[in-house]
């Protein structure tokens, strides 16, 4: 076995100076996105003001009652964990109304839904923590069959 002795050396390090105005802010896009989320902005669409929202919900309720009947019940969508199936039957400035049963409907906030939805379309809307997910939905046809 060969042993080699090494001399110890001292190491001197100097920090390089960095000009903060010349370096890009790498977290700027994340900060901007966080601000948009805190403002409630979804895909470039901002939520309505409270006064406008109340007027739109009243209009959605009236439109749903005209279509479903005066005794129809209209519920705001549960954006934390709701799941809704059916046809969109009415639209207001800030809401899309989805028929849930013959006498009930749900009012969805339009700024939370993907753009391009309109009355007459049928889909499943699932919410999780304020984020809406849309899936196609076809109602099951009632088949009359012979039974013994």
Does this model's pTM top 0.85? no
**Residue-wise pLDDT tens digits, 62-118:** 999 999 998 999 999 998 888 999 999 999 988 999 999 999 999 999 888 888 888
- Burial (CB < 10 A; 0-12, 13-18, 19+), residue 33, is exposed
Average pLDDT, the chain: 79
Q: What is the pLDDT of residue 66?
A: 93
Rounded Cα gap, residues 119 and 31, in angstroms:
36
- The dotted CATH code for 40-136 is 2.40.50.140
Residues of the chain with pLDDT > 90: what percent? 34
pLDDT of residue 85: 93
The domain ranges of the chain are 40-136
Structure tokens at 92: 């207001």
């Amino acid at each position: 076995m060969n042993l080699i002795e090494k001399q110890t050396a001292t190491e001197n390090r100097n920090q390089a100076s960095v000009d903060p105005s010349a370096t890009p802010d790498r977290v700027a896009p994340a900060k901007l996105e966080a601000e948009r989320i805190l403002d409630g902005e979804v895909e470039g669409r901002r939520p309505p003001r409270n006064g406008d929202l109340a007027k739109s919900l009243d209009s959605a309720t009236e439109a749903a009652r005209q279509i479903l009947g005066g005794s129809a019940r209209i519920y705001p969508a549960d954006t934390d964990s709701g799941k809704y199936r059916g046809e969109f039957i009415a639209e207001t400035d800030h809401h899309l109304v989805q028929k849930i049963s013959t006498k009930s409907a749900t009012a969805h906030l339009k700024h939370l839904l993907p753009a391009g939805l309109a009355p007459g379309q049928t889909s499943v809307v699932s919410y999780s923590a304020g984020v809406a997910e849309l899936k196609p939905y076809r109602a099951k046809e009632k088949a009359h069959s012979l039974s013994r």
